[in-house]
Structure 1
Amino acid sequence: MRRSRRRLLRPFPQDDRCVPTLSYPAVRDQGVGAVRRRSRGPARAPRPCRGRRGRRRSRPLVGRARGCRGADGRRAVEHELAPGEHVDEYFAVRNLSEQEITFRITAADGFFTQTGRFDILADAAASTAAGTWIEAPAAVTVPAGESVVVPFSLAVPERAEPGDYAAGVTASILTAGSAAGGASVGVESRVGFRVLTRVTGEITPAASLDALAGDHRLSWNPLRPGEATVSFEVVNDGNTRLAAMGTVSVGGRSVAFPAPGQQAQELLPGDRREITVEVDEVWPWVLLTATVTLAPEVLTISDTDAALAPISADVAIWAVPWPQLAILLGAGLVVWAILWRRSRSRRRISAMIDDALRRGREEGRNEMTDRVGAS
């Protein structure tokens, strides 16, 4: 009978290496990135990466200070590789609980949700891009209160097109929970980090605006302006990552997006993201023109210079000033009523004067007739 052996990765002291960490339970603001093994004796040269084309090169760790110990602070693993190259990386899984845990390691294609959060494909969806370039152990067992270094490799296919690709690596566990009514359900908890790869070649950033729409909300106080809402879609037509930013101008008012304190929406190549901007203090002038100016930032992994000229598009917004029209209509009715009453009074006075003159003439004729008859 053949015996199967499960390989356990050796725990290590936290201060002995430069490590990224995935902690369970999750720790906020944890660092992720690569690991370089450090000797307690004389320093050694970095481990060279061997590409599939037989080239050798030393790849320094990204975003890490020399001689650092512990987590290197990166939130993502980023590399710029040529087709056919590969690089070896490491991450650490830290178990903060009081029992030994076996974590399932998953690598899959990454994407950004409509709210701008990064996620990876579910287990039921098959990866077709960068998620298939990552090779990592299927699971790792971490003793209570300790950490384990996990190696993984990133290999770019020979025929990969130039541009940016996103994937993610997660460590997850499945625990039992209770749903409403007492039913038992499985709850998956996972932590992970992004793996961003730029395949070298012709980099062509491009963006466009689509599906522009606008609306104006009136203030029923006629002495106050309203609020315009402009929605549009930013489309990444190039092969690089973009950060969507710019301005929306309506009725002499201008608002920047993202708003101060908010993070710019990041788009992968081929992504389409809807953005809504509200512009306050906009007076309703029947027909308004909203101008969206997109000035996307090209996100780079290396120091490569890549810029994209701003683009703009207009959309018409109907803004009928009903409160102000109601005030004008009311004022018009009041003026008409006043004029009508004045005109009516004038007609009554004129009629009274005419009636008095008529009576006077009749009395004069009667008096003349009486005098003629008496003579």
Structure 2
Amino acid sequence: MDLPFRSRFAALRIVTAAAVALLLPLAAASPALGAEGDEAGTITWSVRPADESGEDGRAWVEQELDPGESATEHLAVHNLSEQDVTFRLSTADGYFRENGRFSMRSSDEESVDAGTWIDVVDEVSVPAQETVIVPFTTAVPDNATPGDHAAGIAASVLSEQVSEDGATVGVESRVGFRVMTRVTGEIAPAAEVQNVSSDYRMSWNPISPGDATVRFEVVNTGNTRLLVTGAVDVQGGEIAFPAADEADQELMPGDRRSFAVAAEDVWPLVSVPVGVEVAPAVTGEGEGTALDSITAETRMWAIPWPQLIVLAGIVLLVVSATWGRRRSRRRMAELIARARDEGRREAIVDETV
């Protein structure tokens, strides 16, 4: 599920905030409060894909169109509130955030791609506890490039709040879903792994291994949406990414996504081999189409300083013990030689007497 995001911008003397909740799969929006003094109360609503008769169970819209072709879809705006509400409808270019969640450009950002292809009425009035079905049309330009294009469509309400500094703050709460359009033509999925690096964190306990972090970027160099999975190999141990508790990582054409994979129990063997394998797959139309795995290799410096210190200590002990034994032997040899000399001198004295 995609999480809400917020942006703020100034307009004359009123500070305006665009609070956008783009939820996939979509549930009811977070409540939006009415303006100060407004007795209308809390407004909640949901927006889902639909056909002419109502919601159709889809989480978002996937469509494949030729350049110059158009198609009509529908959205269901469900007013969960106890009062009638007029919702503003808007569209914008879509994108995937670094955490893998889908979002759409805020109201103060200009759309230049699929967000401009969608035509929908500016607003819709929905009675309390009712649902209204609204058609919208996607018209692909004649010169649209083949491949995947992302947009979002949303219903929003505007309320006013007073900030801590006393300024009037307008909050636009926006709820919607993604509209993914694949333009027909030469479809060429492709990806690259770039900027592989790693760092090692040793344990000062000489009998314990350390940890490592492997960082890299995956770039969607093709023209289709890709689902990215893979594994990092450090010293023979594989770590899958993304982790089971992390969101799927989808990349639109041209997207670049940074990854950081942690590896535990890595022994410092001076130069540790590191491998990255990425298995991208086409998602959306043609979903499940796998590409050849992409691999990248590097080596990570892991100097075993604690072990070297221990080894140096052992060497010092051995050298010291060896030197001590040799010194004792020399001392003993000197004592024996001195005793022999004294014995000879005493024997000579006795013979003289």
TM-score higher than 0.5 here? yes
Distance between the aligned counterparts of 1:348 and 1:162, measured in 2?
92
Residues 47 and 76 in structure 2, CA contact (< 8 A), matched pair in contact too: no
Q: What's 1:208 paired with?
A: 192
* Identity value in percent: 49
Selected match of 1:340 from 302, 310, 323: 323
Residues 210 and 234 in structure 1, CA contact (< 8 A), matched pair in contact too: yes
Deviation readout 1:214-258 (Å, 9 max, x if unpaired) = 112222222222222111100101000001111111111111222
Selected match of 1:99 from 79, 83, 86: 83
Counterpart mapping for 1:252-331 below 5 A:
252-302=236-286, 306-331=289-314
Q: What's 1:142 paired with?
A: 126
Q: How many residues align structurally?
A: 317
Higher relative contact order (CA 8 A, sep 6+): 2
Task: Read off the aligned partner of 2:50 and give its amino acid letter.
Answer: A
2:169 is paired with a residue of what secondary structure? strand
Distance 1:155 1:97, change over 3 A: same
Residues 47 and 175 in structure 2, CA contact (< 8 A), matched pair in contact too: no
Q: Does 1:196 align with 2:199?
A: no
Residues 95 and 150 in structure 2, CA contact (< 8 A), matched pair in contact too: yes
Residues 22 and 94 in structure 1, CA contact (< 8 A), matched pair in contact too: no
Distance between the aligned counterparts of 1:224 and 1:72, measured in 2?
56
Q: What's 2:37 paired with?
A: none
Q: What's 2:16 paired with?
A: none
1:295 is paired with a residue of what secondary structure? strand
Q: Does 1:356 align with 2:339?
A: yes
Distance 1:257 1:350, change over 3 A: same
Distance between the aligned counterparts of 1:96 and 1:112, measured in 2?
28
Distance between the aligned counterparts of 2:339 and 2:312, measured in 1?
40
Distance 1:302 1:247, change over 3 A: closer
Task: Read off the aligned partner of 1:187 and give its amino acid letter.
Answer: V
Q: What's 2:50 paired with?
A: 34
Deviation readout 1:3-29 (Å, 9 max, x if unpaired) = xxxxxxxxxxxxxxxxx977444699x
Residues 226 and 281 in structure 1, CA contact (< 8 A), matched pair in contact too: yes
Residues 205 and 306 in structure 1, CA contact (< 8 A), matched pair in contact too: no
- How far off its partner does 1:361 sit? 2.5
TM-score by length of 1: 0.78
- How far off its partner does 1:339 sit? 1.9
- How far off its partner does 1:367 sit? 3.5
Q: What's 1:78 paired with?
A: 62
Residues 68 and 142 in structure 2, CA contact (< 8 A), matched pair in contact too: yes
Gaps of 5+ in 1: 1-19, 38-69
Residues 163 and 200 in structure 1, CA contact (< 8 A), matched pair in contact too: yes
Distance between the aligned counterparts of 2:345 and 2:286, measured in 1?
112
- How far off its partner does 1:353 sit? 1.4
The 4+ residue runs of structure 1 with deviation greater than 6 A are none
Q: What's 1:10 paired with?
A: none
Residues 24 and 97 in structure 1, CA contact (< 8 A), matched pair in contact too: no
Q: What's 2:106 paired with?
A: 122
Distance between the aligned counterparts of 2:91 and 2:347, measured in 1?
118
Selected match of 2:154 from 160, 166, 170: 170
Gaps of 5+ in 2: 1-24, 32-42
Distance 1:347 1:135, change over 3 A: same
Q: What's 1:185 paired with?
A: 169
- How far off its partner does 1:348 sit? 2.0
Deviation readout 1:165-215 (Å, 9 max, x if unpaired) = 000011122222343455542222221100000011111011111111011
Distance between the aligned counterparts of 1:218 and 1:97, measured in 2?
57
2:262 is paired with a residue of what secondary structure? strand
Task: Read off the aligned partner of 1:98 and give its amino acid letter.
Answer: E
Deviation readout 1:352-371 (Å, 9 max, x if unpaired) = 21221222233233334x42
- Bigger strand fraction: 2
Distance between the aligned counterparts of 2:243 and 2:27, measured in 1?
31
RMSD of aligned C-alpha atoms? 2.4
Q: What's 1:88 paired with?
A: 72
Which stretch of the first structure deviates more once superposed, 216-225 or 177-186?
177-186
Distance 1:300 1:98, change over 3 A: closer
Residues 21 and 93 in structure 1, CA contact (< 8 A), matched pair in contact too: no
Residues 209 and 233 in structure 1, CA contact (< 8 A), matched pair in contact too: yes
Deviation readout 1:31-83 (Å, 9 max, x if unpaired) = 7223223xxxxxxxxxxxxxxxxxxxxxxxxxxxxxxxx53221111101111
Higher Cα Rg, which structure: 1
Task: Read off the aligned partner of 2:48 and give its amino acid letter.
Answer: V
